[in-house]
């Protein structure tokens, strides 16, 4: 068992997890929102450390990253668990459920990348924040060997753990799910302002690209999209924006995003941002 890095003891045998803004207060034998950080005898334990549910070689453009190491491939790894609850989750079988996994060490992951001469490792598929300790240990080893590190994340992480891992992460794709505070809380179980803070902080030292899945009935309001793009441009107008088409998935079954809406959204985004890409459109 791997002890978690960010927590503190509170009253009556409970612990407070300090990894993400949920700041879960966890009783003995229980887990937090993410289901993978458990109070065991007053110690917070990572249940998914080294538990790999997916390991693949992907084009880096699939992350998606379009302006970082283009036309290369990245060794992509995932575990299980998530600190949000999006009902349209595209990877719900590993983020919301407990899949079959293979035990691997950080060194084994890095050795694969070295042996196969893969130039980068991506922490992806499920939310890497909730397998923070494994991503952190792996990223440090990879960095020492000249391998780039990529984090594909919802951005819902507290400032201290973000600052600790930032020197080892070369690129982020951050999922900005909606520009509505109400919808972030209601549907995702997270917070818009905290994700915006992550974007601003990450952009100071790493390459950052943004993805927004345009979910029917959730974030398909073009006025909200325009406000999102204005804000993103205020951080850096050169941050690439990926506007991606939603398809019914998991517990959300509204019709797929209309292609015409994506094209309208692209026109709006390009008023403020230099690089705008459409995803899942064909």
pLDDT tens, residue by residue, 195-210: 999 999 999 999 999 9
Q: How far is CA 176 from CA 121, 133, 197, in A?
A: 22, 23, 11
Question: Which tens digit of pLDDT belongs to each residue from 83-106?
Answer: 999 999 999 999 999 999 999 999
CA–CA distance, 29 with 140 (Å, rounded to integer)? 31
Report the side by side order of strands in the sheet with 15-17: 7-9, 15-17, 25-26
* Closest by Cα among 254, 213, 200 to 84: 213
pLDDT class of 282 with cuts at 50, 70, 90 = confident
* CATH architecture of the domain with residue range 51-279: Alpha-Beta Barrel (3.20)
Answer yes or no: is pLDDT of 31 > 80. Answer: yes
Residues in CB range of 1: below 8 A, 6 or more apart: 40, 45, 46, 49
Domain residue spans of the chain: 2-46, 51-279
* Closest by Cα among 245, 119, 225, 114 to 171: 119
Crossing angle between the packed helical segments 106-116 and 132-144, to the nearest 10 degrees:
40
Count Cβ atoms below 10 Å from residue 148 Cβ, excluding itself: 23
Write down the H helix ranges in the chain. 92-95, 106-116, 132-144, 159-165, 181-183, 192-203, 222-236, 259-270
pLDDT class of 266 with cuts at 50, 70, 90 = very high
């Amino acid at each position: 068992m791997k002890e978690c890095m960010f927590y503190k003891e509170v009253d009556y045998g409970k612990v407070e997890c300090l990894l993400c803004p949920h700041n879960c207060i966890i009783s003995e034998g229980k887990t937090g929102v993410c289901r993978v950080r458990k109070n065991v005898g007053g110690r917070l334990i990572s249940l998914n450390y080294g538990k790999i549910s997916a390991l693949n070689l992907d084009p880096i453009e699939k992350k998606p990253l379009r302006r970082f190491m283009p036309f290369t491939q990245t060794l992509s790894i995932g575990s299980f668990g998530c600190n949000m609850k999006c009902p349209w989750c595209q990877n719900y079988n590993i983020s919301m459920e407990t899949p079959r996994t293979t035990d691997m060490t950080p060194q084994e992951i890095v050795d694969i990348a070295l042996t196969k001469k893969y130039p980068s490792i991506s922490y992806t598929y499920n939310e890497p924040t909730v397998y923070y300790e494994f991503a952190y240990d792996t990223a440090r080893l990879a960095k020492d060997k000249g391998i780039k590190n990529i984090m594909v994340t919802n951005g819902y992480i507290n400032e201290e753990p973000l600052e600790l891992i930032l020197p080892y992460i070369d690129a982020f794709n951050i999922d900005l799910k909606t520009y509505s505070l109400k919808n972030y809380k209601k549907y995702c179980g997270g917070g818009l302002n905290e994700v915006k803070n992550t974007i601003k902080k990450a952009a100071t030292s790493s390459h950052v690209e943004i993805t927004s899945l345009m979910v029917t009935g959730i974030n398909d309001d073009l006025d909200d999209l325009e406000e999102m793009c204005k804000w993103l441009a205020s951080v850096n107008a050169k941050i690439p924006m990926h506007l991606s088409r939603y398809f019914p998935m998991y517990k959300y079954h509204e019709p797929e995003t209309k292609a015409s809406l994506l094209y309208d959204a692209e026109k709006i985004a390009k008023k403020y941002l230099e690089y705008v890409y459409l995803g899942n459109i064909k």
